[in-house]
């Protein structure tokens, strides 16, 4: 273990993630709506063809496509209307040559029909006669049986997060219970001699413990199950006892230990709890330098700075990707969604270090501008006044006023 | 009421939103963590100064800044260390001239001290003597009492969504219960003769009702409370009874009525339920043309196409902004977060119409590409295979391969 040798952010991320569990930690079966946002643990296949019958995708007339060949406004194809197909029922009869049937979007095509002419491309001539003004080709305006998913086909693959549309598709196929990756349980411990419970009145030199609120909210946002184990003073036995309790959960977040001595003590305790121990202690990141990344007997342990702004940055860079993976979620394709904006001011940044800048968004002259939030970085209000964060990579020595940047919502 | 006169999307949005309730519908009091993501109904003020005392923002020595003036590596200022201030306690004594006290990040400054010298800018000379190698100015490395928020100041203003950092700040200030805008209750009705419950086996021409699953998930994602009232066949009395029941809730979503006759019937029923009735019937939008936007005795009613893809588009364009407003959330500053990608293909679009294109994201040559999802728009799998949507505005006649676009996650 190299003590407080500053690691690059990307190095620290891969050192840590490579030593963490590679995927979900277990499976649970849930009702479809409870599984919203979760990840399928296994492929779900369709029992039958979807749709189960040829369906019209427009309002119009089901036809034999061949009967419409050559039809035009000047020379309509005249067809006999033999039926109005009711929604939710099978057509009463097979379509013969020169025949058609009135059909609505979603209606079932009669045998013999292989296309639908849109109502806009017909003229009504009599109760049982219609003129087709435009030819259709076989399959036109038809969702064919099995075209959405054939019987036995994979409806939704393992590892796919269940969004609104996946829920809809599964319900459509009659799948009402699903097996998904279970939510990782994330133990949160707050340490610090200066902390009192938020319901207490702090004495001189004391503050209310509040980082756990942000951490619980962030864990829940990412789909984890936060469990707050309370706080411990900066006393070896107390911190060690809390950490041993925390190791019964899937992931451990320990916040605080802001004084140098307390930080070193937390690192020493984590290092002594089991294999592999500490992988990273110190990251070339501002704010967030005194981060601890460890794995103890297979369980990820992250020591977050007590400083609320740093804690949130460290969570986003190291804990979020871990939780996504434990939930079975794929990494973001490319980047997390962001808002594009132009920097309102020049901002300097040390080369070789990742700087995370808090910004407020302002619309001006039809463009969006990112205004750096002023104030000492220890102030929580610099976070509450910010709309998002701009990440300045190691290679950059700052940002220029007017430059386009990605603002990540925080 | 103009029947099926196609409205521009932005016109339809403002016609509808201007007739809807202007803000939250009520207030409820919640524990802090339950209020995550909700909007404050009133300003929350700080009872005391935050921080409650001058705190160090670094590890180092609390000093009288004047004692360090002119200090440099070549000519250090020598100070007597009179104390090591323990975390969470008041310093034992006032700092006199030429004196300093060891202090950790977050520690309480002693009376007399007005700045902190970082440990990196000192040299240890003896147990009780330190050399200061760099001058500090008054206030340097100090979070002053009340600097985060003075007593009586607004900690978090009304209308601000409670993110992780707001929860942390409120807990820090000892505010553990908050009054927030209540969640709008959104009634969902599915109509259609072709529908059976998802637990049933559909007969010929029938399909399982599944749109309500997507709508329930989308409402919940946006912070609303979905209430599914079940389905009704396309029979006037049945639909009307369901809609009257639905009007007991804050917002009504009616999905389906895909055949022309059923659509017209739904519109007629909505139009007859109360004032103002139907504001928009038909939007120049693909997919999503047969949208109904109405307000009935103050309650927003949206008729969504039965087509699942259209329903999701209409939800995003008309229902999401409404729910955000009813939750007290501000409109997005600028745009919703999106992923920037380049179009993989040319795509045509009719001028004067908004086209919503489903795309899959692919990383290629270090860039992100948006590949239009192939397949008839009636197929639900065109939604499950998509990562996001690209909106092609009225003014554009299409997108060119290679063009940068915003991909909105769906």
Task: Judge contact between A359 and A370, C-beta under 8 A.
Answer: yes
Q: In the CATH hierarchy, which top-level class contains the domain A55-143?
A: mainly beta
Residues contacting A387, CB < 8 A, separation 6+: A359, A360, A361, A407, A409, A410, B333
Check: CB of residue A187 under 8 Å from CB of residue A248.
yes
CA distances from B41 to B18, B45, B165, B174 (A): 21, 13, 18, 18
Please give the pLDDT value at position B2: 42
Distance from CA of B45 to the nearest CA of A (A): 13
Torsion of CA A83, A85, A89, A91, to 10 degrees: 40
Architecture of domain A27-50+147-181: Alpha-Beta Complex (3.90)
Q: What tens digit of pLDDT does each residue of A322-344 get?
A: 999 999 987 765 557 888 999 99
Note whether B167 contacts A217, CB cutoff 8 Å: yes
The pLDDT value recorded for residue A140 is 96
Task: Encode pLDDT of A3-16 as tens digits.
Answer: 468 999 999 999 99
CB contact under 8 A, B410 and A165: yes
CB contact residues (below 8 A), chain A span 148-167, against chain B: 148-149, 156, 160, 163-167
Alpha helices in A109-210 (DSSP H): 164-172
Q: What are the tens digits of pLDDT across the range A166-204?
A: 999 999 999 999 999 999 999 999 999 999 999 999 999
- The minimal CB distance from B198 to the residues A174, A377, A409 is found for A174
Q: Going residue by residue through chain B (410 aa), what tens digit of pLDDT does each one get?
A: 344 689 999 999 999 999 999 999 999 999 999 999 999 999 999 999 999 999 999 999 999 999 999 999 999 999 999 999 999 999 999 999 999 999 999 999 999 999 999 999 999 999 999 999 999 999 999 999 999 999 999 999 998 899 999 999 999 999 999 999 999 999 999 999 999 999 999 999 999 999 999 999 999 999 999 999 999 999 999 999 999 999 999 999 999 865 667 778 999 999 999 999 999 999 999 999 989 999 999 999 999 988 888 999 999 999 999 999 999 987 765 557 888 999 999 999 998 999 999 999 998 888 899 999 988 878 999 999 999 999 999 999 999 999 999 999 88
If you average pLDDT over every residue of chain A, what do you get?
Answer: 93
Q: Which two tokens stand for residue A150?
A: 């054939």
Contacts of B351-354 with C-beta under 8 Å, sequence gap 24+, read B351/B394, B351/B395, B351/B396, B351/B397, B352/B8, B352/B284, B352/B394, B353/B284, B353/B285, B353/B286, B353/B394, B354/B8, B354/B9, B354/B284, B354/B285, B354/B286, B354/B391, B354/B392, B354/B393, B354/B394
Task: Give the model's pLDDT for residue B1.
Answer: 38
- Contacting residues of B for A235, CB less than 8 Å apart: none
How do beta strands A251-256 and A299-304 pair?
parallel
Q: Strand ranges (DSSP E) for B163-298?
A: 177-181, 185-191, 195-196, 207-208, 225-232, 251-256, 276-281, 285-286, 292-296
Query: Which SS3 state, helix, strand or coil, does residue B25 take?
Result: coil
Give A220's contacts in chain B (Cβ within 8 Å): 36
If pLDDT is split at 50, 70 and 90, which confidence band does A307 have? confident
pLDDT recorded at residue B263:
77
Q: Give A 113-132 residues with CB within 8 A of chain B.
A: 119
The answer to whether the Cβ–Cβ distance between A165 and B409 falls below 8 Å is no
Give whole-number Cα distances, A40 to A132, A154, A250, A387, B199, in Å. Answer: 47, 12, 19, 33, 20
Omega prior to B272 cis, within 30 of 0: no
Residues from chain A contacting residue B335 (CB–CB below 8 Å): 339-340, 368
| Mutation target vs B (from A83, A191, A205; most B CBs, 10 A cutoff) | A205
CB contact under 8 A, A333 and B340: no
Nearest to A328 by CA among A41, A43, A14, A21: A41
- How distant is the Cα of B275 from the closest Cα of chain A, in angstroms? 31
Q: What ipTM describes this predicted complex?
A: 0.92
Joined together, the tokens standing for residue A404 give: 């386009």
Average pLDDT over residues A278-290: 93
DSSP letter at A352 equals T
Q: Decide: B38 and B30 in contact? Cβ < 8 Å.
A: yes
Question: In chain B, positions 19-78, which contact chain A (CB-CB < 8 Å)?
Answer: 32-33, 36, 50-53, 55, 57, 59
pLDDT of B378: 81
A:B CB pairs within 8 Å: 313
Whole-number pLDDT of residue A3? 47
Backbone region of residue A373 per phi and psi (left: phi > 0; alpha: psi in -120 to 50; beta: other values): beta
Which pair of structure tokens corresponds to residue A361? 């968004």
| Per-residue pLDDT at A112 | 97
Closest CA to B286 of B314, B261, B258: B314
Cα A361 to Cα A287: distance, rounded to the nearest angstrom: 21
The verdict on a CB contact (< 8 Å) between A339 and B339 is no
Q: What is the CATH number assigned to the segment(s) A339-409?
A: 2.40.340.10
The 10s digit of each residue's pLDDT in B351-385 is: 899 999 999 999 888 889 999 998 887 899 999 99
Q: What percent of chain A is predicted at pLDDT more than 70? A: 97
- Does any CB of chain B come closer than 8 Å to the CB of residue A199? yes
Cβ separation of A333 and B361 shorter than 8 Å? yes
Residue B338's pLDDT is: 87
Residue-level pLDDT at B101 = 98
> Measured between beta carbons, which residues in chain B are less than 8 angstroms from residue A90?
203-205
What's the rounded Cα separation, in Å, for the pair A392 and A349?
Answer: 7
Q: Which of A156, A157, A378 is the best substitution to test chain B (most B C-beta atoms within 10 A)?
A: A378
Spell out which residues of chain A touch residue B378, defining contact as CB-CB under 8 Å: 55, 57, 105, 143
Closest partner residue to B380 (CB to CB) among A119, A169, A386 is A169
Which homologous superfamily is A9-25+182-326 in? MoaB/Mog-like domain (3.40.980.10)
Sequence-distant (≥ 6) Cβ neighbours of residue B42 within 8 angstroms: B158, B179
Measure A119 CA to nearest chain B CA, in Å.
10
For residue B259, the model assigns a pLDDT of 62
Q: Are B304 and B315 in contact (CB under 8 A)?
A: yes
Q: What angle do CA A166, A170, A172 make, to 5 degrees?
A: 115
Distance CA A20, CA A294 (A): 9
Closest approach of A297 to chain B, Cα-based (Å): 30
Composition of chain A by helix, strand, coil, percent to 5:
20, 35, 45
- When CB atoms are compared, the residue of A36, A339, A378 closest to B143 is A378
The residue of chain B nearest to residue A110, with distances taken between CA atoms, is B205
Q: In A, which residues are within 8 Å of B338 by CB distance?
A: 337-339
pLDDT surpasses 60 at A1: no
Place of tokens 């489903």: B358
Contact, B126 vs B110, CB < 8 A? no
| Measured distance between the N- and C-terminal CA atoms of chain A, rounded to whole angstroms | 33
Test B384 with A174 for CB contact under 8 angstroms: no
With H, G, I as helix, E, B as strand and everything else as coil, classify residue B90: coil
Q: What is the least distance, in Å, from the CA of B297 to any CA of chain A?
A: 30
> What is the Cα gyration radius of chain B?
31
User: Which B residues, 1 through 30, put their C-beta within 8 Å of a C-beta on chain A?
Assistant: none
CA distance A53 to B18: 43
Q: What is the number of alpha carbons within 13 Å of residue A304 lying toward its C-beta?
A: 28
Q: Which residues between 263 and 302 in chain A have a beta carbon less than 8 angstroms from any beta carbon of chain B?
A: none
Using CA atoms, how far residue B118 sits from A241, A287, B132, in Å, is 32, 16, 9
What's the average model confidence in pLDDT over A293-320?
94
**Residue A327 near residue A39, CB atoms below 8 Å:** yes
For the domain spanning B9-25+183-326, the CATH number is 3.40.980.10
Rounded to 5°, the CA angle B301-B302-B305 comes to 150
The Cα–Cα gap between B219 and B250 comes to: 12
Average pLDDT of the segment spanning A84-90:
94
**Predicted pLDDT at A262:** 76
Q: How far apart are CA B217 and CA B73, in angstroms?
A: 63
CB B257 within 8 A of CB B263: yes
CATH 3.90.105.10 for domain B29-47+154-181 = yes
- Calpha distance A360→A346 (Å, rounded): 15
Domain ranges of chain B: 9-25+183-326, 29-47+154-181, 55-143, 339-409
Q: Which among A389, A364, A30 has a CA at the least distance from the CA of A180?
A: A30
- B-facing residues of A in 298-357 (CB < 8 A) are 306-308, 312, 332-341
Q: Which of residues 367-406 of A touch B (CB under 8 A)?
A: 368, 375-381, 383-384, 386-387, 406
Whether residues A52 and B207 touch (CB distance < 8 A) is answered with yes
């Amino acid at each position: 273990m190299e003590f407080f040798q500053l690691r690059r952010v990307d190095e620290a991320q891969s050192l840590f993630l490579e030593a963490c569990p590679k995927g979900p930690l277990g499976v649970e079966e849930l009702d479809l709506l409870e599984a919203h946002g979760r990840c399928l643990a296994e492929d779900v296949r369709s029992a039958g063809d979807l749709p189960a019958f040829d369906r019209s995708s427009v309002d119009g007339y089901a036809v034999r496509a061949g009967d419409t060949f050559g039809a035009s406004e000047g020379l309509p194809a005249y067809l006999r209307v033999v039926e109005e197909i009711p929604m939710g029922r099978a057509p009463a009869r097979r379509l013969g040559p020169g025949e058609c049937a009135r059909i609505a979007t979603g209606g079932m095509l009669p045998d013999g029909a292989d296309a639908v002419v849109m109502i806009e491309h017909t003229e009504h001539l009599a109760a049982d006669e219609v003129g087709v003004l435009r030819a259709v080709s076989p399959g036109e305006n038809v969702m064919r049986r099995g075209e959405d998913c054939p019987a036995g086909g994979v409806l939704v693959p393992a590892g796919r997060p269940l969004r609104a549309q996946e829920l809809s598709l599964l319900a459509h196929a009659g799948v009402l219970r699903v097996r998904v990756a279970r939510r990782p349980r994330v133990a949160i411990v707050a340490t610090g001699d200066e902390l009192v419970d938020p319901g207490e009145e702090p004495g001189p030199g004391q503050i209310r413990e509040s980082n756990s609120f942000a951490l619980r909210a962030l864990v829940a946002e990412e789909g984890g199950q936060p469990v707050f184990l309370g706080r411990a003073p900066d006393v070896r036995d107390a911190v060690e006892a809390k950490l041993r309790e925390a190791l019964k959960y899937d992931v451990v977040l320990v916040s605080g230990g802001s004084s140098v001595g307390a930080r070193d003590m937390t690192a020493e305790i984590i290092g002594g709890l089991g294999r592999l121990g500490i992988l990273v202690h110190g990251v070339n990141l501002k704010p967030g330098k005194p981060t601890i990344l460890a794995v103890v007997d297979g369980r990820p342990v992250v020591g977050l700075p007590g400083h609320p702004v740093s804690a949130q940055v460290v969570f986003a860079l190291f804990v979020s990707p871990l939780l996504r993976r434990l939930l079975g979620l794929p990494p973001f394709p490319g980047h997390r969604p962001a808002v594009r904006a132009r920097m309102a001011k020049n901002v300097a940044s040390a080369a070789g270090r990742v700087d995370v800048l808090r910004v407020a968004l302002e619309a001006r002259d039809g463009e969006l501008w990112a205004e750096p939030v002023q104030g000492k970085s220890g102030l929580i209000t610099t976070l509450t006044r910010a709309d998002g964060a701009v990440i300045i990579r190691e290679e950059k020595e700052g940002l220029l006023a007017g430059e386009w940047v990605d603002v990540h919502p925080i």
